[in-house]
Structure 1
Amino acid sequence: MTGRFALKNNQARVLSLTLTMYQFSGGAHGTTLEHGLTFDSDTGHPYTLQELFKPNSNYKKLINNNIKAQLQKRNLTEDLFKPFDTIPDDVQFYVADKTLVIFFNQYDILPYVFGITYFPIPLYALQEAIPDDGPLSRLL
C-alpha cells in the first residue's frame, strides 16, 4: 500500500487536505481511496460537512442540486449505479480556492473506469447556507 497527502487549503484558519491510498493485491487493477480532511488550523477541530453550514439550512439540497446539474452536464447520469438522490452524511469533501469539492471514491456512484469523481461547487452558490461567523465565510 502506498499513500500521499495533498494540501488543498491553508488560509483563513481553514486547513483542508486529502489523503490518497493505493493498494494492489492482484487482479485486473489496484484500488485507490481518497479521504478529505478539513480542520480549524488554530484549534485542530476537524469539521464535518454539516458544521460548515447554518443549522437547519438547506445546504444538502443546494449541494445535491449542484451535483445533479454537473452529472447532467458531464453526461454521467446513464453510467450511475443508481439515480443520484442525495449525498450521504459522511460524504468526502475538501475546501480549495473558494470552492467546496464533494467527491466519491471508485465504485461509490460510478464504475471503476471513472475513477474518483469530483464535484467542485463555488462557495458563492452555497452562500445562503453559510453562517456569517463560520469557517467558509472567512474564505469568501
Structure 2
Amino acid sequence: MGPKPTVVETDALISELDALVRNLEAQASALQSSHAALVSAVNELGMRVDADLIGGVSEDLRTLQKDMNSLFEVFRGYPGLVTDIDTKFNRDMARLSTLDATIVNVDNVLDKLAEVTQHARHGDATKRH
C-alpha cells in the first residue's frame, strides 16, 4: 500500500467520484427516457401493425364474402344442371337397358338359328343316306 492520501487528495477523489456518479445518473436517466420512447414506439408500431392486419384481414374477409356470393350465384344454377344431367343419365341408362335386352334377344335368336342349322345339317345327312 502506498503512503496515506492527504485530505485534499481524498476530497478531490470524492469530488471526481461524485461527478462520475452524477454522469452515470444522467446517462441512466437518458437511457430510461430513450427506453420509454422505444417501448412507446414499439407499442405504437404494434398497434398499427394490429390495425393494419385487422384492416387487411377485414378487407380479405370482405373480398372473400364477395367471392363466396359470386360462387353461390354460380351454384344457384347448378341444381337445374344436376337435374338435367340426372335426367339424361337415367334416359341413357334406360336406353342401355333396352339395348342390352335387344342384344340378349339377338343372342337367343342366333342360338335358335344355330340349333335349326345343326338339325337341318343332320337331317340332310340322314336323307342322303
> Which structure has the highest helix share of the two?
2
- Structure of higher CA gyration radius: 2
